[in-house]
Amino acid sequence: MSTMRIIKICIALFYLVFIPLSVSGQKYPFWMKPSSEEADSLKRVLHSTEDDSLKMLLNRQLGRYYEEVHRITALDYYETQLSLAITLKQQLWEADALSSIGYVSSLMQNFPGALNSLLIARDIASKLLASNNLWNVELFNEGGDINLARLTVLSSIVNHLGLINYFVGNYDKALEYYEETNELNKTLNDEVLEALLYMNRGESLYGLEKYDLAKTEFEATLKAFQNTGYVLYTGLVYWDIGKIYEAEENYREAKKYYELSVKTSIEVESPDFLGEGYLALSNIYDVFGQPDSSYFSAQQAFTTFQAMSDTLGLIKAHTALASVFDKRSQIDNAYYHMKEAQTLTLAINRDEKVKEFQVLGLNEQIRLNELETERVLVQSRFQIYGLGAGIGVLLLISTILYRNSNRQKKDKATIELAYKNLKSAQNQLVQQEKLASLGQLTAGIAHEIKNPLNFVNNFSEVSLEMVDEAMEEVKRGWREGVKERRREGEKKKKSEGEKETEVDRALILEILDDIKTNLTKIHEHGSRADGIVKSMLMHSRGGTGSLEPTDLNGLVREYVNLSYHGMRAGKHPIDVDIELKLDESVGEVPLIAQDFSRVILNLCNNAFDAMGDKKERGEEVNGRKNTSI
């Protein structure tokens, strides 16, 4: 056959076999095992391909097929897978191969070797880098997630660690591993793994003689197998349920499930569980007193285990046949099978291997404890370093916060001072606004008063002038009359009429003099009022707020008078005399007239109020009637 033809055949077989097994829509590819027909096709491809990656996959799948058919052959395929995985630097494939080697070795009673392989596999799969550059990731995880692929292999390894402990009778330890597997599966949500855990827990619970709990787990297993279509171990579960009924001495139910186990194991091509089913039926037939059926079933079990080269199965089959022949009184045959069973038992040296396994398990536990101790020490060291770093960070933060606090205090003081100044300025502005409004009101009132006041002052001046003129005219007319009489030489006594005329003239002069006096008073007080109005107008004007030369004495006089007249015009006036003792040499002084005038007004107003309060209480003011301010 030409080389090109061989290549074409290989390519065709590759697409027919490899693709369906790895990347097609097949469900649960990691757990599925090929049928006998598929195994034959895989062998043909394996013999023709030169692709190491494909060889690695084919050896794995063929190992899966032979696990429950011929364990030595399965072990050979898995070891080839391991070698190829190491060559190809496929760490997850390496861990998967070691896990399978450990499982098959435990079935072959090589417990120390099995434990060693599984521990190495767990160390590899526990590393996150194990899934780097993973070839054919879909085999391990249908979604192509490399981390979930790693967890799938790791969960399988931990599950196998549980199984090996179950095989040697460490049921509680096995349950611990199953619980660890279950925790991993919470991330994976793998339905097949969940079903296998039901089954494995049930077997360990059976070993602990917790039959009701075990039966519940097995019933859940059958339901899960039905839902997933993963039926490879269905015969084993039927056998497990039969063992429970047999332990409860319900032999008819036990026989029913053993028969189901045999039937199902034939259908799914699982000779290992088929042999166990035959052995169980042989024992039940013996209980029922059916030696022929018991012999037939034992012989079927022997044939099955012999084809598998299952040493432990052969030991059980020889023992069963020895019991059958012994009851038949066929001593030679019974002796033969008993001797064969003993020979095989010595060959596998199970007790010694179990002891060796226990030692390895103890060493592994010690190693794990040391690793845990080291991990705790490292963690404690990191915690101390972290605490020191944390303290340093806290000190740094405290320093920064302290500096910020001082800065904030300074800023706060600055802000408070600025706020105080702003508040003062605001109050001043408000006060100025109020004073401006009051000044405008005062100015308006002053202007209104000033006009009639000017009228009073002006007309009082004119009236005074007219009175003076009238008096002058009266006096002049009187003088001219006297002169005229003197010229005429009239020295006769005045008549009564003339006397009356002189009296009237004198009365007129007296009245005019009184009018003049009144007008003088009116003018005097009008001028005084005019000064007050002028002071009000000046007080109401807005100033520049700067110092200006001002007649101090005049300013004091004006505002003392203004305060006095304000008090007198108020609701509770008091009698008070104001005596000013001013230094006339002071002259002009630089000051803010508006502010200083307010000081004078406040002093005078406060003094008037104090004197008014004492008057209301009936107290004497400083022991005097008059008070100097």
pLDDT in tens, 242-251: 999 999 999 9
- Structural contact between residues 19 and 3, judged by C-beta atoms closer than 8 angstroms: no
**What are the start and end residues of each CATH 1.25.40.10 domain in the chain?**
1-189
pLDDT in tens, 452-469: 766 676 777 777 777 777
Whether the model clears a pTM of 0.85, i.e. scores above it, the answer is no
Query: Can you tell me the distance from the alpha carbon of 365 to that of 370, in angstroms, rounded to the nearest whole number?
Result: 8
**Confidence at residue 281, expressed as pLDDT on a 0 to 100 scale:** 93
pLDDT above 90 coverage of the chain, percent: 35
**Confidence at residue 12, expressed as pLDDT on a 0 to 100 scale:** 45
Cα 113 to Cα 119, 200, 356, distances in angstroms: 10, 21, 10
The yes-or-no verdict on residue 500 having pLDDT over 70 is: no
Task: Quote the mean pLDDT of the chain.
Answer: 80
Superfamily of the domain at 1-189:
Tetratricopeptide repeat domain (1.25.40.10)
- Residue of 230, 288, 224 lying closest to 259 (CA atoms): 288
Higher-scoring residue by pLDDT: 91, 270: 91
pLDDT above 70 coverage of the chain, percent: 75
pLDDT in tens, 567-597: 777 767 887 888 888 888 877 888 887 777 7
Q: Average of pLDDT values for 339-354? A: 70
- Structural contact between residues 172 and 134, judged by C-beta atoms closer than 8 angstroms: no
The yes-or-no verdict on residue 318 having pLDDT over 80 is: yes
Strand ranges for 74-228 from DSSP E: none
The yes-or-no verdict on residue 112 having pLDDT over 50 is: yes
The yes-or-no verdict on residue 334 having pLDDT over 90 is: no
Q: What DSSP assignment string belongs to 210-273?
A: -HHHHHHHHHHHHHHHHHHT--TTHHHHHHHHHHHHHHTT-HHHHHHHHHHHHHHHHHTT-HHH
